[in-house]
Amino acid sequence: MTGNKKGLTYADAGVDIDAGNKAVHLMRGAVRSTFRPEVLAEIGSFGGFFALNAGKYREPVLVAGTDGVGTKLRVAMIMDRHDTIGIDAVAMCVNDILVQGAEPLFFLDYLAVGKLEPEKVAAIVSGVAAGCRQAGCSLIGGETAEMPGFYGPEEYDLAGFAVGVVERGRIVDGREIAPGDTLIGLPSSGLHSNGYSLARKVLLEAAGYKADSYIEKLGRTVGEEMLEPTRIYVKAVLPLLEKFNIKGMAHITGGGLTENVVRVLPDGAGVAIKLGTWDVPPVFDLIREEGGVEEQEMLRTFNMGIGLVAIVDAGQAGAVMADLSARGEKSCLIGEVIEGGKEVSYI
């Protein structure tokens, strides 16, 4: 560099360190609100410290999961609403480890943005913190990366990482599942966080709706429906694991009931799911009608109103559902395990 030319800075290249520091300051309170007693480190350290109470467990096994939010992020960008998408990031991770029998302990997030706007970043992380509070886990770290030239100024991506713990002898792995067992479904809050490429294709392109289009069948706008956060099932399920023999569980995400339930089945088992045994949220009927989507395609793309499936001995099903009901949780009998080759039959 010669003459009187001013040297270029990181900010000139599109990365604002001061904005990043402001974002950290704005999100600090939300992050701290998630801390369990086991958290040792303050935000700002190079790593998050979590002291596992080894005396509480005989054979603790850590269970880890990671996921993103998919193209639901595009809806958040269209709506310019960013305070709930973090709940989805947490839900997709903690529900996955929950169905192995694990209690979520801590969570980390990764947020990449085209332009770092502190208030927007703080809103996104406030959603992550809200999800962590719902799951009872601590947000102990994360990364916010400003990546100009890679993402557009209004674009971002969000992913999460959850770690939980389960006693080795209480891992839920489906090995005890046998024909005659009962499938109990816990309702979803709507689309959750999968199938959005098809949902957006149908609703925002083929049907021509805008995000602010009010749909009487939905009782709200298309955008509001599509941004409804994914349900977190931790507080509904953990008490069941203490009282009952839950043989297997499935988080119903991409692939729907068709692809996810069979993942927990042992050899020689299939499931028969009885359609009409649960309430299907109206958004799914809207997608089917507007897109002409066939029923089998709907069932293997969307959750169709069931966000989590628990498989129990038929003799325990009534007690499990009564326990859920006593705690204000809805559930329904949706099918049974049959002899088969890890396939789902709909009846």
313-325 pLDDT, tens digit per residue, is 999 999 999 999 9
Q: How many domains in the chain?
A: 2
Domain boundary among 110, 139, 170: 170
Q: 338 and 246: one domain?
A: yes
Residue 12 has pLDDT above 90, yes or no: no
- Whether residue 335 lies inside any domain: the answer is yes
Q: 108 and 207: one domain?
A: no
Burial of 331 (0-12, 13-18, 19+ CB in 10 A): buried
Rounded to whole angstroms, the Cα distance separating 305 from 308 reads 9
Q: 320 and 187: one domain?
A: yes
Q: Which residue has the higher pLDDT, 26 or 188?
A: 188
Q: 329 and 309: one domain?
A: yes
- 66: confidence class by pLDDT, cuts 50, 70, 90: very high
Q: Which residue has the higher pLDDT, 334 or 19?
A: 334
Q: What is the pLDDT of residue 248?
A: 97
Residue 164 has pLDDT above 90, yes or no: yes
What's the domain range around 23? 17-170
Q: Which two tokens stand for residue 97?
A: 């480890």
- Whether residue 308 lies inside any domain: the answer is yes
Domain boundary among 170, 204, 219: 170
Rounded to whole angstroms, the Cα distance separating 230 from 303 reads 11
Q: 220 and 250: one domain?
A: yes
Q: 196 and 260: one domain?
A: yes
Q: 202 and 73: one domain?
A: no
Q: What is the pLDDT of residue 29?
A: 87
Q: What is the pLDDT of residue 15?
A: 84
The average pLDDT across 199-223 equals 96
Rounded to whole angstroms, the Cα distance separating 5 from 340 reads 75
Q: 78 and 130: one domain?
A: yes
- Whether residue 6 lies inside any domain: the answer is no
pTM above 0.85, yes or no: yes
- Whether residue 7 lies inside any domain: the answer is no
Q: What is the pLDDT of residue 67?
A: 96
- Whether residue 3 lies inside any domain: the answer is no
Q: 247 and 330: one domain?
A: yes
Rounded to whole angstroms, the Cα distance separating 291 from 217 reads 16
Residue 84 has pLDDT above 80, yes or no: yes
Rounded to whole angstroms, the Cα distance separating 177 from 343 reads 14
Q: What is the pLDDT of residue 16?
A: 82
Q: 151 and 123: one domain?
A: yes
Write the CATH number for 292: 3.90.650.10
List the single range of 35-39, 175-179, 293-297, 337-341 with lowest mean pLDDT: 35-39
148-162 pLDDT, tens digit per residue, is 999 999 999 999 999
Q: 338 and 191: one domain?
A: yes
Q: What is the DSSP string of 221-236?
A: EHHHHHTPPPP--HHH
Q: 119 and 200: one domain?
A: no
232-279 pLDDT, tens digit per residue, is 999 999 999 999 999 999 999 999 999 999 999 999 999 999 999 999
Helix 85-98 × helix 72-79 angle, to 10°: 160
User: Across the chain, what does the average pLDDT equal?
Assistant: 94
